[in-house]
Structure 1
Amino acid sequence: MTGHQGTGIVVVFYRPDGECVRNANRLVGFGCCVVIDNTEEARSASELGLDDRIVYVPNGQNRGIATAINQGIERLIAAKCTTALLFDQDSDPSPELLTRLPRLLEVELRKGGRVAVIGPAYEDSRLGGVAPFVRFGCLKLRRIQPTGFEPIEVDFLITSGSCLNLAAWRDIGPMEDTLFIDFVDLEWCVRARSKGYAVLGAPTLRLVHALGGEPLRIFGRTYPSHSPVRHYYMFRNAVALVKRSYIPWSWKSTELVKFPVRLVLYALFMRPRGSHLHMAILGIWHGLTGRTGEL
């Protein structure tokens, strides 16, 4: 099976294992495939076992998810691609998703829609199956079930599995390098919407995607878990975005409500507790004082 004309694919590596390489190799028949490798130790494509049709860019350092995506997209634009599918290294998209998502984007653009990005609903069995799409609401996110056949307007999509309209890339601008990792997708989607572009969820398509480490189960509820360093970026970038005028107050209110709850959860239930709490508080401090980039 071959991909849609004009489709390119960007996969971001960070210390990939054999399964990650196999996932990337499966993508070469679906479009121009670029792998950006943020692993600190640079290796060649042949050492990794990558298909020689893949454009491989070893950074030799962790430059963050935003920079890696920007690098990949610039290569796709140079190769005259019109759409870009983005994946994490552990994503294993179905052939249906790889072929249908760019076509859905094309259909919406032909209707005259100003669309920045379209993405599937993601499925994480550890967190209870198919996740709803999200719209911002006062003090609480509004969860939209992925039902029906028509694309659904949403406020943001996670990066992995999303399909970007590259004709809008220069107008919206690249992903924000200084955020490094967390909330990169949210900030870009909000910026796209502030410039009059739609962000669409495709309710008929699914991407199996593991969000974070082994989930935390507390009082019957399930929460994604991350490393202390990831919690640093989550808190720092959330604070940084709360300070920005173009970020809607509906999202800010939701985050401000979640802040104390998350701090209590990390302090009481995450191991090592001190490390998680320390990194979260450091993140808040750096967000308040304007520190960005890599920790």
Structure 2
Amino acid sequence: MTTQFENRSKKPGSCCSIVVTFNPNIETLLNLVRRIDEGTDLVLIDNNSANLNEFRLSVESLPRCKLFFCRETNLGLASALNIGIKWCIECGYKFTFLFDQDSRLEELFFDNMVEAYLEIEREQEQKIAALGPRIINPKNFKRTRFKSFDRVFGANDQSIGKQNTYFHADFIITSGSLLRLEYLSDIGLMKESYFIDNVDLEWCFRARKLGFKVIGTDSAHLLHAIGEKTNSFLVSSGIIFHHTPDRIYYSSRNRVHLWLVDYAPVGWKVRDIFRFVLKTVFLLVFSRERIAYGRNILKGLRAVKEIK
């Protein structure tokens, strides 16, 4: 049975953060939500975590926890985000931050992000759908570049204006992103049929096709690792991301679906087809779980037509 804790005792501020959980590391999650509680209101959507009782009361007791929504089944990241986003819109928030359960925030993250958004909005005089922080890999402290796909190669960290603080981006990752909620009436919500992988790509591509801007900034940093841990050079160098055999089903299915839509940039499609071929060969040749990977890749390719 779906259960929820809701606290509307105080008038909402301008910002609310949404965290989606599924079997989280308790210490990492609590560090995140406590930091959020210092900067914005908080909504947590849980996708039927086995360890729910180990963190639920700690989160609900936070002064700025406004909603704790527990789902009886895991219906995916996109669906969970949409629950939080709809609730924030209903309550009248202006902005929402989206977070994965394993992200870590630097000091003054929220102040710096909101200030950066308002500054670049004034400077550009354009509708900015989303602003993303600079992502730092906590394992090696490598900075993830903001990518543009107007060219097939070499279109990363293209700065905007005189200062090297803001960057063009065709997409930003979900975690740490700041969304202006009023624009979602035109852009739409997250694509729930994607379940988990490429949800951020699809939404950002859709927003840009409609004329909205997606911007990256160095004004705020987020520590976040993309993909699961592995010792592969291809993964550590950022050429491909490592996922489990179960996740490879969604990543294969969703990326091929994105190849087929007209609002995904051609430059991204060319890059991603190359990356998918390289990743598939790597998994089928070198992985000990090659049979499971191969089976789920094929299953994902067959399921592309089922995406709505």
Partner in structure 1 of residue 212 of structure 2 = 197
The match for 1:72 is 84
Structure 1 unaligned regions, length at least 5: none
The gaps in structure 2 that reach 5 residues or longer are 1-11
2:9 is matched with none
Distance 2:235 2:79 in 1: 38
- C-alpha distance in 2, partners of 1:219/1:254? 15
2:209/2:263 contact within 8 Å kept: yes
Conserved 8 A contact 1:69-1:175: yes
Task: Give the secondary structure class of the aligned counterpart of 1:174.
Answer: coil
Q: Output the CA distance in 2 between the equivalents of 1:266 and 1:127.
A: 24
Contact kept? 1:105, 1:165, Cα under 8 Å:
no
1:189-225 deviation line (CA, Å, top 9, x unaligned): 1111111111000023211101111134247963431
Q: TM-score, normalised by structure 2?
A: 0.85
Partner of residue 84, structure 1: 96
* Structure 1 Cα separation of the partners of residues 141 and 24 of structure 2: 26
3-state SS of the aligned residue for 1:95?
coil
Over 3 Å counting, the alpha-carbon distance change for 1:8 and 1:141 in structure 2 is farther
Task: Please tell me whether residue 98 in structure 1 is matched to residue 74 in structure 2.
Answer: no
Q: CA deviation at 1:63?
A: 1.3
What aligned pairs does 1:253-292 form with structure 2 within 5 A after superposition? 253-287=270-304, 290-292=305-307
Q: Map residues 1-295 of structure 1 onto 2, 5 A cutoff.
A: 6-19=14-27, 20-39=29-48, 43=52, 47-52=56-61, 53=63, 54=65, 55-111=67-123, 112-126=125-139, 129-140=142-153, 142-144=155-157, 148-218=163-233, 222=237, 223-287=240-304, 290-292=305-307
Match in the other structure for 2:6: none
In structure 2, C-alpha distance between the alignment counterparts of 1:16 and 1:220, rounded to whole Å: 23
Query: 1:174 Cα shift?
Result: 0.4
The alignment partner of 2:232 has SS state of strand
TM-score, structure 1 as length reference:
0.88
CA RMSD of aligned residues (A): 2.5
The one-letter code matched in structure 2 to 1:68 is A
Instruction: Give the Cα–Cα distance (whole angstroms) in 2 for the partners of residues 151 and 41 of structure 1.
Output: 40
- Alignment size in residue pairs: 288
1:41 to partner: Cα distance: 5.2
**Percent identity, aligned pairs only?**
28
